[in-house]
């Protein structure tokens, strides 16, 4: 079970407890938006403070597509800037890397944060900003 809400300091707060029930072991929060133009050299830059656990950033160029483009990142327990080159994001479906090229689309319209450590544990991720350059 997880929630996404404003923290007392007005950051985005994604937190919860991972359950292994019902083929669990992960939790995610997603946001869909109007198509945003990107290019092959675009990066997603995130200012965040994690809990020392590993997370994934996932994007979709079309929210109706069954698979996502993903890139894992580690958090340090401190505020940090995570830079995700779109061209490094690889296609994945249900935890399996697909035999398709890395992200090379002209748009994105969905972004997801996922923790999938397959352990019954608490997690907490504070998100300050998400930007595209």
pLDDT in the model for residue 110: 97
Question: Mean of the per-residue pLDDT values for the chain?
Answer: 94
Distances (CA, A) of 27 to 18, 30, 38, 117, 124: 7, 10, 27, 9, 11
Determine the Cα–Cα distance for residues 133 and 129; give it in Å rounded to an integer: 13
Q: Note the CATH number of domain 2-132.
A: 2.60.120.260
Confidence check: pLDDT of 75 > 80: yes
**pTM given for the model:** 0.93
Tokens 């580690």 map to which residue?
A: 74
pLDDT in the model for residue 35: 95
pLDDT in the model for residue 95: 85
Contact assessment for residue 87 and residue 102, using Cβ atoms and an 8 Å cutoff: yes
- 17-73 per-position pLDDT tens digit: 998 888 778 999 999 999 999 998 999 999 999 999 999 999 999 989 999 999 999
- 77-119 per-position pLDDT tens digit: 999 999 999 999 999 998 899 999 999 999 999 999 999 988 8
pLDDT in the model for residue 15: 97
């Amino acid at each position: 079970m997880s929630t996404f809400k404003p923290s007392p300091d007005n950051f985005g707060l994604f937190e919860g407890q991972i359950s292994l029930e019902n083929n669990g072991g992960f939790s995610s929060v997603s946001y869909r938006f109007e198509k945003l133009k990107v290019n092959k050299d675009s990066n997603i830059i995130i200012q965040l403070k994690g809990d020392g656990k590993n997370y994934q950033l996932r994007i979709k160029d079309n929210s109706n597509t069954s698979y996502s483009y993903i890139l894992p990142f580690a958090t340090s327990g401190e505020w940090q800037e995570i830079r995700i080159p779109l061209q490094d994001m690889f296609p994945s479906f249900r935890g399996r890397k697909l035999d398709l090229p890395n992200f090379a689309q002209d748009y994105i319209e969905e972004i997801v944060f996922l923790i999938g450590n397959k352990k019954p544990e608490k997690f907490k991720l504070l998100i300050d900003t998400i930007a595209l350059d």
